[in-house]
Structure 1
Amino acid sequence: MATLARTQPPWKMPESSTPARLKIWNSLTRTKNDFVPIDEKEVKWYSCGPTVYDDAHLGHARNYVTIDILRRIMIGYFNYKLKFVQNVTDVDDKIILRGRQQHLLTQFKENNPRITDKVVGTTIKAFDAYVKKNLPLLSPDLKPDSFNKESTEIYANVINGKSLDGTTPPGDKEAKLKMHLKTAGTAATALLSPSKSTAVDTAEFYAGAEDVLLPYLDSLYGSGIDANDHTIFTKLTQKYEARFNEDMRNLNVLDPDVVTRVTEYGDQIVTFVKKIVDNRYAYKTSDGSIYFDIETFEETPGNHYARLEPWNRNDKDLLADGEGALAKKTTEKHSDADFALWKSSKPGEPSWKSPWGPGRPGWHIECSAMASDVLGGQIDIHSGGIDLCFPHHDNELAQSEAYWSNKEGGHQWINYFLHMGHLSISGSKMSKSLKNFTTIREALSRGDWTARSLRIIFLLGGWHDGVEITDDLRKAGSSFESYVTNFFLKVRDLEIHPNTNSSGSDDEKLKKQFETAKERLHNALTDSFDTPTAMRAISGLITDYNSAAKSGLSDEVSFDIARWVTKIVRIFGLDGSSDPDNGSIGWSGIEIPKEAKEFVYAVSRERDEVRKHAIAGNLSEELLTSIISKDKPARQQNTVGAPYAEVLCTFQENLKGLTEKKAPAKDFLALCDRLRDLDLWDLGIYLEDRDNAPAMVRPVDAELRAVREQKEANERQKREAKERREREEAEKKARLAAQAKISPKDIFRTAEFSAWDEDGMPTKDAKGEDVPKSKTKRMRKEWEKQRKLHEEYLKGVSSA
């Protein structure tokens, strides 16, 4: 058997007579290699697509959005023509299990529309089986009503965010335990629910018990379903493929040029496996399964197994994951590492015809067969998540080389492997199996992220590095988006308010900085798509622009820089489907509605004039009439434009009213503030006042809302603090007033003492003993204070 110690020859990289425009970090060589396409006319790219049995989560977004970024850079910046192929895995062990389980649960619900003793009994058995399998430290005979107490004690470390033993950092093991604790706890709560009689009770019960019922019902009845009815599984896969495509489009991910599906490739996969068998790199077992023969494969010169992660080739856990949850144990495998190309279908599993009997594809063979069918025997780029390196992509490589090679030597199937880093939460990667994820549609619908803000986060990190979303990273992403948005707003404002008095003295300096930024970005992108450095080049150029004196900067230089920034951010996919090369400026979100422009720009001009003259103290009736007369909105407006026209009319009418009343300047300024802070704000538009320049018209965005909310929160805190102080002062005065009514002779007449003198001073304590002199001295001070307070009270009463 070949081992890791075997010397592997260097992977042969393509060569070109001209210098490469791009270097790419290649997982095959674990270094950066010049990118030399097989055919300059078309780059062939295969990317592993989704396994469609559940909604895609943010971890998937990390993979597919990042691949989309690289693809867009290849097309938009380096001008490569791509043929981008992506598969859909619509049959594998996870899908079979999920489809079968959902089918059985649906039947169970239909047969049991009410929660009877039978349903409860079945659920208790399901709960017991789930706990025994997944939470082995708990008592084997644990009852649902004891679950919370015992699980909290035994798994305290895990619940508190520690490792199971409490000494090492938590990892995937602890994440799985948390998931199992949550699932079992939810089921226990459903079982302990006091009422199970109504339709609502039934729905809530099944929702709580579902995740323990699914595997239990499958263990009882899974092998008995009619697996020839493929709709049991396709109902699931078609639903989630459609939802996946919707999620990707909502994230502005380009559609693949070609989509392949496993269920549509049954015959081609059988043919592919048969050739590997004919090449003597695979063997059949007695049940009709076909396994890849790693040892025979490596006996051929030039063939090596586990090229991507040779250190993992003997990892039993990874090998088991690669074979799938429904893998059949067999003693007929030549080696434990040999993997299934074709699996004989057991009862309850879908099947397709083959020379070896009814069966279904192994996980890895699907990509090899589909990619080879569409792209041929040699492919430029293969991409996917980092977790696919071993065994999936290593197995793909081996079986594809076995298919395309001959006995004289190996065959190079893929030239560049690109693997995207994980997205992590609290140190654990996002995973469907861990159920520690937020789905893409949840994140977008709640407003946690937008397609742009999430993509910016990924651009700020290396594409093959792990990303952990932290508050600092969120702030960095938000800051970049705001920085670019404000830059676009400034430059677009020059189209409305040209800088006609510019001397152009700063043009040459900024042009040099512009060239430096372009060179920096180019060097970054050629260096294996170094988007973090590219993003810094963009923000650095904007800083240079902001630092330049606008009086010395011509508008054309501003426009040139803005057009370039627009082109790059669009290449990165930060502006929907906008064309990077159309010469326009900005991205979505900086424009007010077109129906609003006529009226909003008019009212903004009038407001600027009114403010300027009100501040200067020379706002006369004649001047005001002149200002208003420039803009006369039509009485009839379409539905969309009417609110904006109304704002202009109302502002003008209010100005006339203040003029007729000969109102002071402060009232005119207050009206201008109202227009900015209420009337236009409520329509989603803000007027940003600037020194010695007209107000900038801009949409109300998340940044502006956050600033206003913070300002309002600060004002609310100040107001509440003032109210609290006033309330406390009033309460203090009330207490003093009540205290003042008491005679000093009565303040010590309590059960603590048993005798007093004529002034009411205590002489004996409750036991009849003399009061200590030190205590008498302290009480005399209190007595004197109360005497003065009471005398003041009596004076007030007598004078009333």
Structure 2
Amino acid sequence: MASTSRQQPSWAEPHSGSPSKLSLYNSLVRAKTPFRPVDPEGKSVTWYSCGPTVYDDAHLGHARNYTSNDILRRIMNDYFGFDVQFVQNITDIDDKIILRGRQAHLLSNFQSEHAQITDDVLATTSKAFDAYIKKNLPLLNPGLKPEDFKKESAEKYAAVLKGKSVDGTGPPGDKEAKIKMHLKTAGNAVTALLSPSRSSNEDIAKFWEGAEDVLLPYLDSLHGTSISSSDHGIFTALTKKYEDRFNADMEALNVLPPNVVTRVSEYVPQIVAFTERIVSNGFAYQAGDGVYFDIAAFEKVKNNHYARLEPWEPDEHRLTGRRDFSLWKTSKPGEPAWDSPWGPGRPGWHIECSVMASEALGSQIDIHSGGIDLCFPHHDNELAQSEAYWSTEGGHQWINYFLHMGHLSIAGSKMSKSLKNFTTIREALARGDWTSRSLRIIFLLGGWHDGIEITDDMKKAGSSFESYVTNFFLRIKDLKIHPNTTSTGTEDAKIKAALESAKSKVHEALADSFDTPAAIRAIRGLIEDWNTADKAGLSDDVSRDLGVFVTRILRIFGLDGKADPNDGGIGWSGIDIPEVSKEFVYAASRLRDEVRQRAIAKDDLSEETLNSVISKDKPSKQQDAAAEDLLRLSQQKSEAKDFLELSDRLRDVHLWKAGVYLEDRTNAPAMVRPVDAELRAEREQKEAIARKKAEAKQQREREEAEKKAKLAAQAKISPKDMFKTEEYSAWDDDGVPTKDKEGADVLKSKAKKLRKEWEKQKKLHDEHLKGVGSS
């Protein structure tokens, strides 16, 4: 990374507005630069974010990008006080969408024509399987029978399946990931083709599910060109579905919706006009298959630079002769088309964002954001064509700050739709792998610009921080229920100083290009200072001030749903018990506290005393039940331990089932808290340990019982009979063998050993006989 003191080229100087304490890491210069909005008053900020290409469900890699964008946007709005106009696009026209939309349409037609899995369906699927194998798995024999796929693929792609490169000499890469994907797809088709049952609706659904990914490209190869170019609905049906699902995913992640949403399909006339102007400005030309941006012509103009985000990229493209990029494409058969001066066609990839951003935000935009993989060619091409549109003289500054979110990887592998190696957002949330809060915490801990690899250690760090904060909030909120009435205030100055220090650290961190890891460390440090403070010397108001500050910052980060960061509240969702339960629960907790204290101190627990304690709170049905149990113990003159056991049952059984836990504290009333995932995990762990101990004890008892039973059975045998087996042919009067089965004398050493065994058995048998006699 370049030093923040490097001199910026003239084209990278932001528009000079009012000064700001905020600096941003700007991909245009690969350095941190002071943030100065275009707005002369320094209040309004224009921001364009590259949105999703909607042809499949969003995965955790998308969650990383859009959640991190959301964190930065919230900080700009709610911490620094900027008025952010946030525009995000929906890409609903591009090569992948056209292909996927067309394929989905053709497969749907094929399925509707075949309500049952007929021989025709099987024959078509077999041909699709053959075509898929031939194209994507060339090491397998052409015409491979489905029943031979498993064996041959295991042999031909053994190295890949073992986690190595194809040739077995190095580590795997994207090539091997694609091979695994193709093997899985082919394997699913094999399962469908070889399924013995295809009659029920469930069977039919499973067949289509397994065969789908080989049928899609095959049907497209047969019928794709027959699709009408004017039937745009074929493609928007797919994109509408996945746009709705994307929006639902973002809501589940607590990502704020954009102020403005733009869709490529709604901006085609503007794209045509935008392209016309670039052509008329002399920076684009018409070719046989569309309109191309002329990079050479663009760079001839003073202060125009191509590939500014990744200036090392163009050399490769100069060598290959593939420098110019498409602004408008002539539509091929089977692709959607719109009228243009250059004939029926469709937008190129990069032009869409230039047009939509310019239409929504104008000729100069403060911030443009997206994933790090969009630097080149997408954002570099956006810059060039937009600056060619807005100026013929060169050097126009279209975007002042580019913010690029780092990749998310799991086990070292970047998630990719094309590789199908991703976990979707909805899958991860539905399975309970993540919550919107736990995932957001991971992104806050890792920072927005750097890549993040989710490891077990990182998940533990995120879980630890969430638990740490939850426990802090619970204790601060508990002060309202159990105020510290004996505070001396001797700790106040120390904790106030810690609060001011934390505020300063958080501000410095956020002003330093949204350094959220440093801000999180400051928050954790402040909580640690409070945890270790002498609570007897700390006033509740100071404690609550800490709670309000921590709450505000974490709400600004989006960790508490739609809660207002500035309402003076304390805590986040999930730490309050249901309102309807509070009256009974707090009454039961107070009753239990006093009974426990008296039981521990061996104090008076008479019926009269208990009635006095019980009468302090308004009675309820549940409290009456607890009171009856207490009074019964008192009437039975029960010991203190019985009252403690009853207290534990109230905590561990009755209230636990109601989703409430009483956390006992030394020299303080129990703290009421909801049963959460952490508490459940702790209990499950304790119960698992207890089960193992019980199982081990039962095993020992079984073995001991078996040993005793065996010994008892052995004791019943007379020593005179114990050696009467086929192994020997003669015995003395005591039954000790004298000759083996062949008639040879038993060796003296063995005879001595046998006599010792005989004596041991005699003693055992005699004890048995005594026992029988005594009974």
TM beyond 0.5: yes
1:740 correspondence with 2:715: yes
Superposed CA deviations along residues 678-731 of structure 1, whole A, max 9, x for unmatched, are 111111111111111111111111111111111111111111111111111112
Deviation larger for 62-71 or 198-207: 198-207
CA deviation digits over 1:209-245, x for unaligned, max 9?
A: 1111111111111111223222211111111111111
The answer on 1:413 being equivalent to 2:405 is no
Q: Secondary structure at the match of 2:257?
A: coil
In the TM superposition, what is the alpha-carbon distance from 1:555 to its structure 2 partner? Answer: 1.0
1:776 Cα deviation after fit: 6.2
Supply the distance in 2 between the matched residues of 1:281 and 1:84 (Cα, whole angstroms): 30
Query: Per-residue displacement from partner, 1:766-793 (whole Å, max 9, x unpaired)?
Result: 7x88877766666665555445444444
Q: Which of residues 442, 455, 473 is equivalent to 1:488?
A: 473
Q: Partners in 2 of 1:510 and 1:730 — Cα distance? A: 63
After TM superposition, the score normalised by the length of structure 1 is 0.91
Q: Is the 8 A contact 2:728 2:737 kept in 1?
A: no
Cα 1:730–1:379 change in 2 (3 A) is same
CA deviations 1:243-275 (Å, max 9, x no partner) are 111111111111101100001001000011111
Match for residue 600 of structure 1? 585
Is the contact made by 2:411 and 2:455 (CA closer than 8 Å) also made in structure 1?
no
Contact 1:8 1:304 in 2 (8 A): no
For 1:612, which of 567, 578, 597 is the aligned residue?
Answer: 597
Measure the CA separation in 2 of the matches of 1:610 and 1:8. 72
Counterpart-to-counterpart distance in 2, 1:721 and 1:793: 31
Matches within 5 A, 1:340-355: 340-355=326-341
Higher mean displacement: 13-22 or 414-423 = 13-22
Cα distance in 2, alignment partners of residues 343 and 697 from structure 1: 65
List gaps (5 residues or longer) in structure 1.
1-6, 320-332, 634-644
> Which residue matches 2:311?
310
User: What is the correspondence of 1:54-73 to structure 2 with a 5 Å cutoff?
Assistant: 54-73=56-75
Equivalent residues in 2 for 1:37-52, closer than 5 Å: 37-39=37-39, 40-52=42-54
Match of 1:670 in 2: 645
Matches within 5 A, 1:91-110: 91-110=93-112
Unpaired runs of 5+ residues, structure 2, are 1-6
Distance 1:15 1:193, change over 3 A: closer
Q: 1:746 to 1:233 in 2, by over 3 A?
A: farther
Query: How much has 1:278 moved relative to structure 2?
Result: 1.2
Residues 780 and 293 (structure 1), Cα distance of their counterparts in 2 relative to 1, 3 Å cut: farther
After TM superposition, the structure 1 = structure 2 runs for residues 161-560 of structure 1, keeping only pairs within 5 Å, are: 161-287=163-289, 289-313=290-314, 335-406=321-392, 408-560=393-545
User: Could you report, residue by residue, the CA deviation over 1:153-212 in whole angstroms, capped at 9, with x for unpaired residues?
Assistant: 222232233333334333322222221111111111111112223332222111111111
CA contact (8 A) 1:172 1:428 kept: no
Residue type of the alignment partner of 1:30 = R
Q: Distance in 2 between matches of 1:229 and 1:732?
A: 83
In structure 1, distance between residues paired with 2:117 and 2:298? 57
The 8 Å contact of residues 293 and 334 in structure 1, kept in 2 or not, is answered as no
**Amino acid aligned to 1:35:** F
- Aligned-pair distance for 1:476? 0.7
- Residue 14 of structure 1 corresponds to 14
- 8 A contact 2:737–2:746 mirrored in 1: no
Give the 3 Å change call, closer, same or farther, for CA 747–92 of structure 1 in structure 2: farther
C-alpha displacement at 1:314, in angstroms? 5.4
Task: Give the match for residue 564 of structure 1.
Answer: 549
SS in 1 for 2:251: helix
Q: How far, CA to CA, are the matches of 1:281 and 1:96 in structure 2? A: 28
Give CA deviations for 1:571-619 in whole Å, capped at 9, x if unaligned.
1001111111111111111111222222221221111112122222212
C-alpha RMSD over aligned residues: 2.4
Distance, in Å, in 2 between the alignment partners of 1:126 and 1:786 is 79
Matches of 1:632 and 1:8 in 2, distance apart?
Answer: 72
Cα distance between partner residues in 2 of 1:33 and 1:372: 24
**Offset, 1:741:** 3.9
Q: Structure 1 residues 783, 309: closer, same or farther in 2, change over 3 A?
A: farther
Match of 1:116 in 2: 118
Letter in 2 for 1:452: R
Contact kept in structure 1, 2:8 and 2:29, CA below 8 Å: no
Indicate the residue corresponding to 2:676 in structure 1.
701
AA at the equivalent of 1:657: R
Instruction: Measure, in 1, the Cα distance between the counterparts of 2:372 and 2:220.
Output: 32
- Report the equivalent of 1:142: 144
* TM-superposed deviation, 1:395: 1.2
Q: Give distance in 2, aligned partners of 1:137 and 1:259.
A: 46
Code of the residue aligned with 1:707 in structure 2: it is: E
Q: How does 1:85-96 map to 2 (within 5 A)?
A: 85-96=87-98
Aligned with 1:247: secondary structure? helix
Do structure 1's residue 714 and structure 2's residue 715 form an aligned pair? no
Output the CA distance in 2 between the equivalents of 1:382 and 1:247. Answer: 22
Q: 1:791 to 1:71 in 2, by over 3 A?
A: same
CA contact (8 A) 1:647 1:679 kept: no
Alpha-carbon contact 1:748-1:762 (below 8 Å) kept: no
Q: What corresponds to 2:623 in structure 1?
A: 648
Aligned to 1:577: 562
Q: Which amino acid aligns with 2:56?
A: D
Work out whether residues 175 and 428 of structure 1, in 8 Å CA contact, stay in contact via their aligned partners in 2: no
> Is contact 1:52-1:89 (8 Å) kept?
yes
Structure 2 residue aligned with 1:31: 31
- CA drift of 1:370 comes to 0.3
Structure 2 Cα separation of the partners of residues 712 and 268 of structure 1: 65
Stretch deviating more after TM superposition (741-750 or 184-193)? 741-750
Q: CA separation in 1, counterparts of 2:640 and 2:659?
A: 27
Assess, with a 3 A threshold, how the Cα gap between structure 1 residues 456 and 795 changes in structure 2: closer, same or farther. same
In structure 1, give the amino acid aligned to 2:395. Answer: G
TM-score of the superposition, structure 2-length normalised?
Answer: 0.94
Distance 1:696 1:258 in 2: 46
Query: What is the alpha-carbon distance in structure 1 between the residues aligned to residue 470 and residue 613 of structure 2?
Result: 32
Q: In structure 1, what is the equivalent of residue 84 of structure 2?
A: 82
Deviations 1:658-682 (A, max 9, x none): 3333333323222221221111111
Change (3 A) 1:786 1:179: farther
Structural mapping, 1:710-789, within 5 Å: 710-743=685-718, 753=727, 755=729, 757-758=731-732, 759-761=735-737, 763-764=739-740, 782-789=757-764
Q: CA deviation at 1:760?
A: 5.0
Q: What is the percent sequence identity of the aligned residues?
A: 68
Distance in 2, matches of 1:228 and 1:745, equals 105
Secondary structure of 2:12 counterpart: coil
Change (3 A) 1:431 1:555: same
The structural deviation recorded for 1:52 is 1.0
Q: What is residue 637 of structure 1 aligned with on the other side?
A: none
Residue identity in the other structure for 2:453: E
Q: 1:440 to 1:773 in 2, by over 3 A?
A: farther
Q: Do 2:367 and 2:400's aligned partners in 1 also have CA atoms closer than 8 Å?
A: yes
Alpha-carbon distance between aligned partners in 1 of 2:756 and 2:153, rounded to the nearest angstrom: 61
